[in-house]
Chain A
């Protein structure tokens, strides 16, 4: 039941959080919604940056200048600004920036700022284990997104940062990712095998050397050399990484961050959404808003026999099996009923249901239209 303090739209529900994390499984319109949310906030005079992970090309084209998006935030063109009928003087103080995560560039920037000795920095950056970290260590993409998010939070140009989290098996991995790299580097076993013993000579133990010889034969000795040199160069650097990981984790679990769950009314995305909600709750967090995209725009009285197509035949028309209108209505009603049931299973957060669009949103006016639905009162029945 709505209470006087309950929010009336998504933007209300988010409140004043400076970091907005969009969570959800793939294919539910997460990136588009994140961009629309940025525009909705900018429309209220805020300066917002949206960090996208893997936008569809046409969306990236719409947000970016010629050549798409890059790791450096770009000011989004003016096409999203809507003449505001309610106000005599339109608020033009808001602005939207868009950026696309480049994990390698993000990690490079961190190493360059953390490593004071240029020769060591160069050695780390050309190490194969290191260059592959961003693409192959599971969870690194999420981790780089949190690092990038942190850089953007510190950037004075922006009031708010909206993050479109990377597609992963489970979107919640994002929350565990800040410590990913330091956990990897500090793994007891790796250190015992690969890291040189402290002391003047910095040599590897005999057991380690035998193992490395074996590994070298299996996967190539160049690779093993790279691994050893990586752990040696990283010695001492991990403290900085760990400290930042703690800061970022704290930020993500504080009230400076808001979570928006994006889903779609089909069994799999809704199950995933439920799972994400449970995991947020386990961390004493909650979704500030749930956006259900792509609902069937069909008007049915859910659960009624009429919705099943029995009704129309009593209207004096043909029996439903012979009446194509009734037959179609019955089929769509099954779907709409199912969707309504799925949506009802999402409880505890502000839920808004957006109807399915025939064509995907690929331009700024389209995003602005979507943004307007996030700021107008929209309650599920």
Chain B
């Protein structure tokens, strides 16, 4: 999963994890950067390098959901530790060599993180591995790392790692990229850009685009706004006939409250229309299937909300596979 910061990538990761586990799969969610809110969302305090079995009330099926972290530097450390011998080397291997090597050849860090993911995939302890990749710009560099290293190294252990990663990434049965976005001008533009850059630089299949945070429609809201606008113009004439001060005051408060409701309705409709425009623009500029997730009017995302989003996700996926002929 890749997407710009602030689009709810971690929420979507947790959603897909719960959706897949509730459909009976054994799922592992991997957080790459160590700063995502995945752990909090899945109600496990913080994710570590070891797997944690998630026990969220959102999980209702007979599948299983686990979560863990991959720290790129740890993967590099592991690699250097396993390869370097000798006391000086050990001293450097655990502290400084990581930074030197990673700086001189930045792709190595990313490659080893991908190598670690491949290792998890090969161990086949999970049916599905969801990786919360770095934010957009970095995601491109991240995914392009194996190819970059393969082109500059002709042999050796790194080249082997690169070839194995490329093999996994190119096989759409093993690996796909899910771009996550929100229906707003800048995120949609950047999603389209990222999709095309990915196509140009990395041999990977793009899965459906996940459009997160669509404000759901309230049936009859537009009509109610129209009617109320007409009615309030009429009633303002009638108000003139009320003579009692108290009654007028109450009516003024009521009118203000009503006015706020009308403004809120107008705002909601405007927001929905603008989101709709962005979704349509995405359809035109990036002809890929979309999975839309609703915005939830809540202050904190609870397990209940996560379950609700997961249900939406599952429904959207089955709709997509119906369209694709049940494949």
A312 to chain B: which residues have CB within 8 Å? Answer: 257-258, 261
Which of B7, B102, B261, B274 contacts A325, CB < 8 Å? B261
Q: By the criterion CB–CB under 8 Å, are A315 and B83 in contact?
A: no
Q: By the criterion CB–CB under 8 Å, are B254 and A219 in contact?
A: no
| Complex-state Cα separation, A56 to B220, whole angstroms | 37
> Is the C-beta of B108 less than 8 angstroms from some C-beta in chain A?
yes
Chain A: CB-nearest residue to B73: A138
Given contacts A189-B92, A211-B92, A219-B104, contact A298 B135 (CB under 8 A): no
Question: CB-defined interface of A214-227 with B at 8 Å, one 1/0 digit per residue?
Answer: 11011110010011
Surface stretch bound by A, among B58-66, B296-304, B305-313: B296-304
Question: CB-defined interface of A50-69 with B at 8 Å, one 1/0 digit per residue?
Answer: 00001011100000000000
> Is the C-beta of B157 less than 8 angstroms from some C-beta in chain A?
yes
Do most interface residues of chain B lie in helix, strand or loop, or is the interface mixed? helix
| Complex-state Cα separation, A100 to B267, whole angstroms | 35
Whole-angstrom distance between the Cβ of B232 and the nearest chain A Cβ? 11
Question: By CB atoms of chain A within 10 A, which of B37, B137, B264 has the most?
Answer: B264
Interface positions, chain B 268-290, Cβ under 8 Å from A, are 268, 270-271, 274
Surface stretch bound by B, among A101-109, A236-244, A331-339: A331-339
The count of chain A contact residues (Cβ–Cβ below 8 Å) is 64
Whole-angstrom distance between the Cβ of B90 and the nearest chain A Cβ? 10
Whole-angstrom distance between the Cβ of A186 and the nearest chain B Cβ? 12
B152 to chain A: which residues have CB within 8 Å? Answer: 220
Given contacts A57-B189, A325-B262, A328-B265, contact A214 B86 (CB under 8 A): yes
Chain A: CB-nearest residue to B225: A325
Q: By the criterion CB–CB under 8 Å, are A223 and B300 in contact?
A: no
Q: By the criterion CB–CB under 8 Å, are B264 and A132 in contact?
A: no
Q: By the criterion CB–CB under 8 Å, are A324 and B6 in contact?
A: no
| Complex-state Cα separation, A132 to B109, whole angstroms | 13
Whole-angstrom distance between the Cβ of B70 and the nearest chain A Cβ? 16
Given contacts A26-B5, A223-B105, A324-B219, contact A335 B297 (CB under 8 A): yes
Q: By the criterion CB–CB under 8 Å, are B33 and A128 in contact?
A: no
Whole-angstrom distance between the Cβ of A195 and the nearest chain B Cβ? 12
Given contacts A26-B135, A137-B103, A189-B95, contact A211 B89 (CB under 8 A): yes
Chain A: CB-nearest residue to B186: A56
Q: By the criterion CB–CB under 8 Å, are A315 and B267 in contact?
A: no
Q: By the criterion CB–CB under 8 Å, are B156 and A220 in contact?
A: yes
B170 to chain A: which residues have CB within 8 Å? Answer: none
Given contacts A324-B218, A338-B299, contact A299 B260 (CB under 8 A): yes
| Complex-state Cα separation, A306 to B254, whole angstroms | 11
The count of chain B contact residues (Cβ–Cβ below 8 Å) is 67
Do most interface residues of chain A lie in helix, strand or loop, or is the interface mixed? helix
Question: CB-defined interface of B174-204 with A at 8 Å, one 1/0 digit per residue?
Answer: 0000000000111001100000000000000
Q: By the criterion CB–CB under 8 Å, are B103 and A136 in contact?
A: yes
> Is the C-beta of B68 less than 8 angstroms from some C-beta in chain A?
no
Question: CB-defined interface of A67-102 with B at 8 Å, one 1/0 digit per residue?
Answer: 000000000000000000000000000000000000
Given contacts A220-B156, A331-B297, A332-B267, contact A326 B96 (CB under 8 A): no
Q: By the criterion CB–CB under 8 Å, are A328 and B218 in contact?
A: yes
Interface positions, chain A 3-61, Cβ under 8 Å from B, are 25-28, 54, 56-58
Q: By the criterion CB–CB under 8 Å, are B271 and A324 in contact?
A: no
> Is the C-beta of A208 less than 8 angstroms from some C-beta in chain B?
yes
> Is the C-beta of A207 less than 8 angstroms from some C-beta in chain B?
yes
| Complex-state Cα separation, A333 to B97, whole angstroms | 54
Interface positions, chain A 302-319, Cβ under 8 Å from B, are 306, 311-312, 315
B157 to chain A: which residues have CB within 8 Å? Answer: 218
Whole-angstrom distance between the Cβ of A349 and the nearest chain B Cβ? 23
Given contacts A27-B5, A190-B100, contact A358 B264 (CB under 8 A): no
> Is the C-beta of A251 less than 8 angstroms from some C-beta in chain B?
no
> Is the C-beta of A354 less than 8 angstroms from some C-beta in chain B?
no
> Is the C-beta of B84 less than 8 angstroms from some C-beta in chain A?
yes
> Is the C-beta of B317 less than 8 angstroms from some C-beta in chain A?
no
> Is the C-beta of B214 less than 8 angstroms from some C-beta in chain A?
no
Interface positions, chain B 96-116, Cβ under 8 Å from A, are 96-97, 99-106, 108-109
Chain B: CB-nearest residue to A316: B254
Q: By the criterion CB–CB under 8 Å, are A129 and B103 in contact?
A: yes
> Is the C-beta of A297 less than 8 angstroms from some C-beta in chain B?
yes
Chain B: CB-nearest residue to A333: B264
A358 to chain B: which residues have CB within 8 Å? Answer: 270-271, 274
| Complex-state Cα separation, A220 to B103, whole angstroms | 14
> Is the C-beta of A283 less than 8 angstroms from some C-beta in chain B?
no
B223 to chain A: which residues have CB within 8 Å? Answer: 324
Whole-angstrom distance between the Cβ of A281 and the nearest chain B Cβ? 22
> Is the C-beta of A110 less than 8 angstroms from some C-beta in chain B?
no
| Complex-state Cα separation, A268 to B7, whole angstroms | 11
Q: By the criterion CB–CB under 8 Å, are A328 and B268 in contact?
A: yes
| Complex-state Cα separation, A218 to B109, whole angstroms | 13
| Complex-state Cα separation, A360 to B182, whole angstroms | 14
> Is the C-beta of B164 less than 8 angstroms from some C-beta in chain A?
no
Question: CB-defined interface of B142-163 with A at 8 Å, one 1/0 digit per residue?
Answer: 0000000000110011100000
| Complex-state Cα separation, A220 to B298, whole angstroms | 53
Chain A to chain B contacts (Cβ below 8 Å), 9 pairs = A54-B137, A58-B189, A136-B106, A215-B97, A227-B100, A268-B6, A298-B267, A315-B254, A332-B267
Other than the known A56-B190, A136-B106, A312-B261, what 16 A-B pairs have Cβ atoms closer than 8 Å? A25-B6, A129-B104, A136-B102, A189-B95, A190-B100, A211-B89, A211-B92, A214-B84, A219-B156, A227-B104, A298-B267, A299-B260, A324-B218, A327-B221, A359-B274, A360-B185
Nearest 6 CB-CB pairs, A to B?
Answer: A27-B6, A136-B106, A26-B5, A189-B96, A331-B297, A324-B221
